[in-house]
């Protein structure tokens, strides 16, 4: 399209106006939505201990499985998978790193929750 044709079409367009009852209908719907009760929040305070308990049980099961199951696996399956003495300590430290990351995450979540209640966010 040429610029002249586009200018001619746009200059002859009529003003758009909402229908007669549109604004009143929209405002009535806004009032109805504003008067509606808030939805019931999920009871996270009651669910948090159960989640922590389930995660702890899962970790405990994993530790017990590794402790009891690995010595019974035939060693020929892991012929090349032995850890050297220099690698044993970093593997042990990985557990402590995971615990530190978990504690950091929990403290961050707690601080976000406290700041959210104060109205700073």
Residue spans of the domains in the chain: they are 87-121
* Alpha-carbon gap, residue 112 to 121, rounded angstroms: 9
Rounded Cα distance between 50 and 108, Å, is: 20
pLDDT in tens, 19-52: 888 988 999 999 999 998 888 888 888 888 889 9
End-to-end, the C-alpha distance of the chain in Å comes to 50
Q: Output the six-digit token pair for 3.
A: 């610029």
Tell me the percentage of the chain whose pLDDT exceeds 90. 17
Task: Report pLDDT digits (tens) over 86-98.
Answer: 666 666 677 788 8
Task: Name the CA radius of gyration of the chain, rounded.
Answer: 32
Are 115 and 121 spatial neighbours (Cβ–Cβ below 8 Å)?
A: yes
């Amino acid at each position: 399209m040429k610029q002249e044709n586009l200018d001619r079409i746009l200059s002859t367009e009529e003003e758009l106006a909402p229908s007669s009852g549109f604004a009143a209908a929209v405002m009535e719907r806004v009032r109805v939505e504003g008067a509606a009760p808030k939805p019931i929040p999920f009871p996270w305070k009651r669910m948090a201990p159960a989640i922590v308990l389930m995660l702890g049980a899962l970790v405990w099961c994993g530790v017990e499985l590794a402790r009891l199951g690995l010595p019974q696996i035939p060693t020929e399956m892991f012929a090349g998978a032995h850890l050297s003495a220099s690698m044993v300590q970093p593997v042990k430290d990985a557990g402590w790193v995971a615990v530190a990351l978990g504690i950091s995450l929990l403290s961050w979540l707690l601080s976000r929750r406290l700041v959210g209640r104060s109205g700073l966010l």
